[in-house]
Every structure is written in C-alpha cells, then in structure tokens.
C-alpha cells in the first residue's frame, strides 16, 4: 500500500451466488482526487462504491480510508457523504429539513443544524429555496439538495452513484461542472460511478475502467483515451478502429512485444485524416468509400481498406469541404492518413 493513498482497497471480492460482482479488486485513491469508476451495466462499479460506503459487506478484502479500517464499520459511522442516482430525498420534508437530516440524526441541535444547512444550501445556490417542498423542485434542483445534504456534515470523502443519469443533456453538462467545482471548493476526495464515457472524461483526475468485477485499466482521462491497453477499453471510451497487425502498410509497432496472438492495432476515428500533413511521421491507408454521413461539424465516413478490414473516420467539416467529400459517391477511392504515434497496439480482449 502506498503511504500517499487516502483510500486503499485490497483484494476486495463480492459474490451473489455464482455471480462474482467484485473479483480481487485493488485500488488506491489519493487525497483530494476525483476518481471515476466507469463501466457497463454489471461491471461491478456500483458494488464497489456501495462496499466503500458500507451498504455492501464484501466477502473478503480490505478497505481503509485515511488509515482507518472500514470493513466492519457500519455505514453511519464512516463519515462519508453519499449521493444516489434517485436523490433519496424525503418527500414529506421541505428542502431545509432534508439537508438538516444527517445532522439531526447525529445529535446536533436544531439551531446549529439549521445554520449549517443554510450554509450548505448557499454552496449549491439554493439558499432561497430552503422552505420549498421537494415535490415543487426540478430534477436539477433536487440533485443540488442531495449534494447539499451530502456535504452538510463536512465529510472528507464523497461517493456518487450515477447522480446525473436522470437529467437531460444540457442540465447534465451543467451539473458536471457544478459537481467538479464543489469538489475543488471543499477539498473533497470524490469517487464517482458512471456509465457515461464523456462524463468520466470531463470530470475526472483519473478513471478506473471496470468489466466483469475487475479494474481493466486505471489512468488519467487522456492516457486511457489515447493509450488504451485493450480492445475493450479502446471501444468503450470512444470511436475506435480495431485492425489486424498487418493492416497498416509500413507500420512498425513501437513496442517490441506487440506481435503474437491476441494483439490488434487501434486507431481513433478522429485521428484519421484526408490530409497528409507535412512534418509528421504518417502512415497511409488506401481504400474505397462505403458510406458518408454529415453530422454538422464533421462527417463520419466508412472506408473499406484495400488490404482487408474497414475503418470509420471522423473528418472535420472544413477538411471535408477542402476535399469535396460531399460530392464523392460510394466506391470512390480514398487515401487516409494517420500519425504513426496514433496507431496503438492493444490486446484483443
């Protein structure tokens, strides 16, 4: 275990009958870090978060926060703020009473609890709605109340389980910014569960990508996106072309161990270009156009490669105009270019 870690998880396992939700998970989270746990449904991300919160008892393994063993500690003794997907607000209480609730159950007097609730609501810009009924609030306002309630007792650790999944796109993007701002302002350590790739890339210091109860890769958003180690991570995080090792003419992989069974090449769709930019070490892909779709600021084109396989390329609208892409018909010959360092070797799993 690293001494700098605020959260230390070792060999954490949990099974429900024959289904292994967590399989010997190891994870360190630094103090003040915003870590997202990203994965498809059934990957184990929520089980991991709930084990950290104390709502799920692991079959084996260790969990410590700031050097304190939590495995046998009840959830209400852990001092952790939790924000749930469904807000978990009390409909029979007004906004202020909902925010005061964690303080009152801890034995804090009404006057002090009321003042601390007011400050928490002020942090999330809802001080003017303290007396409103929960039923009168919008989805975004309910989420702000849930955030205020989670921070009102000043936890050092905040856990969030898909808190924005019920919101529309514009409000979701606004709340991503608000949550990250709250994290930074209060100096929290945050563990955030989501299945939304863009959300994780936007908000996180690091991302743990999970599948089948295991963390498949852990790193910064940029490193995971640009340097995935597996086909699963590459395709889960964005548009990825997966090719055979010999599909790119003259390409020599930078890693000496890239060859052999179970290895592929990965190229992000937006890294392919119609332009052969001078000054860069580029490789080329010859093929024919099979499909083109205009998407506003870009074109998404599909190209069947001359030496086998196919790729999708996302071409910026300005570049597409320079090459008169709109006038091209299916079957037209195309040459795509990509920087050599954008062709990544990944495992085929």
Residue 70: how many CA atoms within 13 Å on its side-chain side? 28
CATH number for 267? 2.40.50.140
Q: Is position 70 within any domain?
A: yes
In which order are the strands placed within the sheet that holds 240-243? 240-243, 263-268, 344-347
Mean pLDDT of 157-182: 91
Residue pair 149/99 in contact by the 8 Å Cβ criterion: yes
Residues 279 and 198 in one domain: no
Q: Is the Cβ–Cβ distance between 34 and 180 less than 8 Å?
A: yes
The verdict on 257 and 337 lying in the same domain is yes
CATH number for the domain including 68? 3.40.50.300
Q: Which two tokens stand for residue 70?
A: 């939590």
- Please give the pLDDT value at position 275: 87
- Residue 231 domain flag: no
Residues 189 and 250 in one domain: no
Res. 254: pLDDT tops 70: no
104 in any annotated domain: yes
* Alpha carbon distance 54, 64 (integer Å): 12
Query: Of 164, 198, 226, at which residue does a domain stop?
Result: 226
Q: Are residues 329 and 262 in the same domain?
A: yes
If asked whether residues 130 and 211 sit together in one domain, one would say yes
Question: Is residue 202 located within the same domain as residue 58?
Answer: yes
Q: Are residues 147 and 11 in the same domain?
A: yes
Where does a domain end: 166, 200, 226?
Answer: 226
**Domain contains 259:** yes
Q: What band does 105 get if pLDDT is binned at 50, 70 and 90?
A: confident
Do 261 and 337 have their domain in common?
yes
Domain with 123, as residue range(s), is: 5-226
Angle between helices 95-104 and 139-151 in degrees, nearest 10: 20
Q: Count the alpha carbons within 13 Å of 234 in the hemisphere toward its beta carbon.
A: 24
> What distance lies between CA 255 and its chain's CA centroid?
28
Q: Are residues 134 and 10 in the same domain?
A: yes
User: Which residue from 203, 109, 114, 188 is spatially nearest to 156, judged by alpha carbons?
Assistant: 188
296 class by beta-carbon count within 10 Å (0-12 exposed, 13-18 middle, 19+ buried) = exposed
pLDDT digits (tens, 9 = 90+) for 276-309: 866 668 888 999 999 999 999 999 999 999 888 8
pLDDT of residue 249: 59
* Spatial contact of 341 and 224, defined as CB atoms under 8 Å apart: no
d(CA 257, CA 254): 9
Per-residue model confidence (pLDDT) at position 257: 46
Residue 2, pLDDT above cutoff 50: no
Among residues 167, 199, 226, the one where a domain terminates is 226
User: Are both 107 and 256 inside the same structural domain?
Assistant: no
Contacts of residue 323, Cβ cutoff 8 Å, sequence gap at least 6: 274
25 closest CA partner among 53, 4, 47: 47
The pLDDT, as a whole number, for residue 3 is 46
Residue 103 contacts residue 113 (beta carbons within 8 Å): yes
User: What is the pLDDT, as a whole number, of residue 131?
Assistant: 94
Residue 197 lies in a domain: yes
- 3-class secondary structure per residue, 25-48: EEEEEECCCEEEEECCCCCCHHHH
pLDDT digits (tens, 9 = 90+) for 72-94: 999 989 999 999 888 889 999 99
233 within a domain of the structure (yes/no): no
Task: Please report whether residue 180 resides in a domain.
Answer: yes
Q: Is the pLDDT of residue 200 over 50?
A: yes
pLDDT tens for each residue of 121-150: 999 999 999 999 999 999 889 999 999 999
Flag whether 334 is in a domain.
Answer: yes
* pLDDT (mean) for 107-132: 93
**Same structural domain for residues 60 and 197?**
yes
What does pTM read for this prediction? 0.90
146/266 same-domain check: no
Of 118-122, 167-171, 323-327, give the range with the top mean pLDDT: 118-122
Query: Treating both helix axes as pointing N-terminal to C-terminal, what angle do 110-123 and 95-104 enclose, rounded to 10 degrees?
Result: 120
Structural domains in the chain (count): 2
The tokens of 208 are what? Answer: 């743990």
Confidence at residue 4, expressed as pLDDT on a 0 to 100 scale: 72
- Contact between 134 and 145 under an 8 Å Cβ cutoff? The reply is yes
């Amino acid at each position: 275990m690293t001494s700098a870690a605020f959260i230390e998880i070792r060999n954490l396992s949990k099974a429900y009958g024959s289904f292994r939700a967590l399989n010997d998970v190891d994870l360190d989270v630094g103090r003040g870090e915003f870590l997202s746990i990203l994965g498809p449904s059934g990957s184990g991300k929520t089980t991991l978060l709930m084990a950290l919160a104390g709502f799920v008892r692991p079959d084996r393994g260790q969990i410590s926060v700031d050097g304190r063993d939590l495995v046998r500690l009840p959830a209400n003794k852990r001092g952790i703020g939790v924000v749930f997907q469904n807000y978990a607000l009390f409909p029979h209480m007004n906004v202020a009473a909902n925010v005061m609730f964690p303080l009152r159950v801890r034995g804090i007097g009404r006057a002090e609890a009321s003042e601390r609730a007011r400050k928490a609501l002020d942090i999330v810009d809802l001080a003017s709605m303290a007396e409103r009924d929960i039923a009168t609030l919008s989805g975004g306002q309910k989420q702000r109340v849930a955030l205020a309630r989670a921070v009102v007792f000043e936890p050092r650790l905040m856990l969030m389980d898909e808190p924005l999944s019920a919101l529309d796109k514009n409000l979701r993007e606004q709340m991503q910014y608000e949550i990250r701002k709250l994290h930074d302002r209060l100096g929290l350590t945050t563990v955030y569960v989501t299945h939304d790739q863009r959300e994780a890339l936007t908000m996180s210091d690091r991302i743990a990508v999970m599948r089948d109860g295991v963390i498949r890769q852990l790193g910064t958003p940029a490193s995971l996106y640009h340097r995935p180690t597996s086909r699963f991570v590459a395709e889960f995080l964005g548009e990825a072309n997966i090719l055979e090792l010999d599909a790119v003419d003259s390409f020599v992989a930078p890693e000496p161990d890239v060859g052999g069974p179970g290895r592929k090449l990965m190229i992000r769709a937006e890294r392919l270009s119609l332009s052969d930019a001078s000054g860069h070490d580029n490789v080329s892909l010859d093929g024919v156009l099979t499909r083109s779709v205009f998407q506003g600021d870009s074109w998404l084109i599909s190209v069947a490669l001359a030496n086998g396989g196919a790729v999708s390329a996302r071409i910026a609208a300005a570049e597409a105009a320079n090459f008169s892409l709109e006038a091209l018909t299916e079957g037209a010959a195309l040459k795509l270019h990509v920087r050599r360092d954008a062709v990544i070797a990944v495992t085929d799993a």
